[in-house]
Amino acid sequence: MSKRFTLAFWLLSLIYLVFMNAMPSALAVVSKAAPIFLLLVPVWSMLVGKLRTGMVIAIIFSAGGDIFLALDGVAGDFFVPGLGSFLIAQVTYAVLFWQRTAFNDRQRWWLAVLYIPVVAVLAWFILPASGQLMIPVTAYLLAISAMVLGAAFCQRPWQWLFLGASTFAISDSLIAINKFLYPLPYASLMIMVTYYLAQYMIVSGILKPETKARFKQ
């Protein structure tokens, strides 16, 4: 992505992060999702075919999850719709990553091996505390794990893609800990900083293939 686009993305993100607690509800909803919708610009202009379609779907449902969670507790109970929207985004990312995997890199295997015990410990604490939401939360943990593991083996620079997917998992873990275990100080800020960073790195990783050819699948 160009420096100009990167600046625009982080400027929009910074506006929301600084003013999110002072904005009117309607403006907060729009402002929260604006950086994610902006990611559609390089995705649409630089990718083609099924990869572009998949990335567009993932980004739109990610923005949808942002909107639902921004409305949660303000206009009703939108946590489950938000979870469902992000679930679709995670599954879409996972499918895209697993369609482009290679398993002959020892470094990538280590990334996957190190992730598994981390998510297992997280599930051990969060699932019993999730109560009636245990089934959707379990599905979400499986989806995000599929995405992170797919990113570990995806034929894209792992420094961007795997770190982006892992940061996404961190952001979602903060949401779960804050909701089901105990309130975190500055939870909203930490969640959104890691979330914006994750989405930016994932898109950057997809746009930085190991070859110079344009995507044709």
pLDDT tens digits along 166-178: 999 999 999 999 9
For the stretch 110-149, pLDDT in tens is 999 999 999 999 999 999 999 888 998 999 999 999 999 9
Please, is 94 exposed, middle or buried when counting C-beta atoms within 10 Å of its C-beta (0-12, 13-18, 19+)? buried
pLDDT > 60? residue 73? yes
d(CA 159, CA 173): 21
Q: How confident is the model at residue 78 (pLDDT cuts 50, 70, 90)?
A: confident
d(CA 180, CA 131): 9
pLDDT of residue 61: 96
d(CA 189, CA 202): 20
> With DSSP H G I counted as helix, E B as strand and the rest as coil, what are the percentages for the chain, rounded to 5?
80, 0, 20
Helix axes 106-129, 158-176, angle to 10 degrees: 10
In the predicted model, what is the mean pLDDT of the chain?
89
Ranges 4-8, 108-112, 177-181, 197-201, most confident: 197-201
pLDDT > 80? residue 153? yes
Assigned token pair, 31:
């402002």
pLDDT > 80? residue 21? yes
State in Å, rounded, how far the first CA of the chain is from the last one.
20
Q: How far is CA 96 from the centre of its chain?
A: 14
d(CA 89, CA 59): 7
Q: How confident is the model at residue 215 (pLDDT cuts 50, 70, 90)?
A: very low
